[in-house]
Amino acid sequence: MTFQVLGRCPERFGRLLDAFVAEFKTGEELGASFTLAIDGEVVVDMRAGHADRARTRPFRRNTLAPVFSITKIVAALMIARLVDQGKLSYTQTVASIWPEFAQAGKAEITVEQVLSHQAGLSGLDKPIDRILWYDAPAICERLAAMEPLWPVGSASGYHPHTYGFLVGEIFRRVDGRSLGTAMREDLAIPLGLDLWIGLPDTEHRRCAEVAFWQKPGTLKSTHRAVEYALKAKWASPGGQGLGAWRRGEFPGGNGLATGPALARLLGALACGGSLAGVHVLSPEAMDLMRAQRIVGRDLVLPHTVSWGAGVMRNAPYMHYGPSPDAFGHAGWGGCVAFADPARGVSGAYLLNRHGPKAIGDERAIRLVAAAYDCL
């Protein structure tokens, strides 16, 4: 296979470069990038392969990769900023902000329980036309009226799509703006980050096409949390086309970004809370965000997960390197973004050939491990 690794990878990160090249030589990749930042400054930014399935467009520095559930950590950061500003508390009930949410036994559910996937609303329990997912007020109305699928606080159950609507509505009720708009105005534009939740049509030409995993899924749980989250015919948005998906705001899953944008944003969390003179989050608020809310076997994901307030903590699998202080989020198909405040390190691995795992893609694990070997 003939290909060229573009970008920057200093000699000291030679083992990381070798690991990146190896993924392409085995045929595991179509297009991918790996970015590493130390103290918020990008030190490695490399990419290779193609941005499209026909292999006519190279994976460029400005290629926007769909980051799927990595979007959730960006949404969690926007909530953390409200907490930092004294406008919201993690222990506050959602109903105190969103009164309609108190229906069906949900009056005592807290903001941190929503963020840590404990709210029992992993999917909609009644059939809908999949187009309705593009109507956020309608989805929020259904979530407000819904009874939790399991006793709240007893377990986490990953909310793949509903998370974005719940967190987005909490943010909107407090701030007044949509979460995607606020993220662009308050972080992406001031910091020069090529990061979007809701992509203008003018930017669609830069997007990578995804080669999806074609084999059957491996989720065997019969719990209704899984059924409504992932298996029901109405479990995910549909019927509107790829352009509408990119254009909409789904803070749980339709973010688009470059590797440097994510590595730099999480770099602020790895090195004191500021980036390029812009205050992102205080160290105290960052510690609150990553503090463990629940740990155990997730009802939806086939994994044990330690959840902070919208972030995946490194334990027990240590996918984000050797530091127990590291945290981040995985995205559908294998992408990851992480921050390690103990080492001042952050990074992002983005790709467009999906693997089968929701968490723990071996490509990501190998690349993160190689990066730490070079530090």
User: Collapsing DSSP states into helix, strand and coil, what is residue 33?
Assistant: strand
In a domain, 212, yes or no: yes
In a domain, 54, yes or no: yes
Look-up of token digits 């076997």:
297
User: Collapsing DSSP states into helix, strand and coil, what is residue 36?
Assistant: strand
Question: For residue 198, what are its two tokens?
Answer: 């809701």
User: Collapsing DSSP states into helix, strand and coil, what is residue 165?
Assistant: helix
Domain count within the chain: 1
368, 347 contact by CB (below 8 A): yes
In a domain, 10, yes or no: yes
The residue among 263, 286, 277, 290 whose CA lies nearest residue 349 is: 263
**pLDDT for residue 213:** 81
Residues of the chain with confidence (pLDDT) below 50: 1
Full residue range of the structural domain in which residue 100 is found: 6-373
**Which residues are catalytically annotated?**
69
Q: Which helix (H) or strand (E) holds 73?
A: helix 71-84
Look-up of token digits 């990595």:
70
374, 11 contact by CB (below 8 A): no
Cβ-count burial of 120 within 10 angstroms (0-12 exposed, 13-18 middle, 19+ buried)? Answer: buried
Residue 315 to residues 238, 319, 320: CA-CA distances in angstroms? 34, 8, 9
Look-up of token digits 């608020």:
285
Residue 89: CB atoms within 10 Å:
14
In a domain, 273, yes or no: yes
**pLDDT for residue 2:** 60
CA 26 – CA 28 distance, rounded (Å): 6
CA 338 – CA 172 distance, rounded (Å): 26
Backbone phi and psi for residue 8, each to the nearest 5 degrees, phi listed first:
-130, 130
CA 278 – CA 47 distance, rounded (Å): 28
In a domain, 260, yes or no: yes
In a domain, 187, yes or no: yes
My answer on whether omega of the bond before 137 falls inside 30° of 0, hence cis, is no
35, 263 contact by CB (below 8 A): yes
Task: Write out pLDDT tens, residues 317-353.
Answer: 999 999 999 999 999 999 999 999 999 999 999 999 9
**pLDDT for residue 215:** 60
Task: Write out pLDDT tens, residues 71-128.
Answer: 999 999 999 999 999 999 999 999 999 999 999 999 999 999 999 999 999 999 999 9
CATH code of 226's domain: 3.40.710.10
In a domain, 69, yes or no: yes
Q: CB-based contacts of 65: which residues, under 8 Å, 6+ apart?
A: 33, 207, 208, 256, 257, 258, 259, 335, 350, 351, 352
In a domain, 1, yes or no: no
pTM: 0.96
User: Collapsing DSSP states into helix, strand and coil, what is residue 138?
Assistant: helix
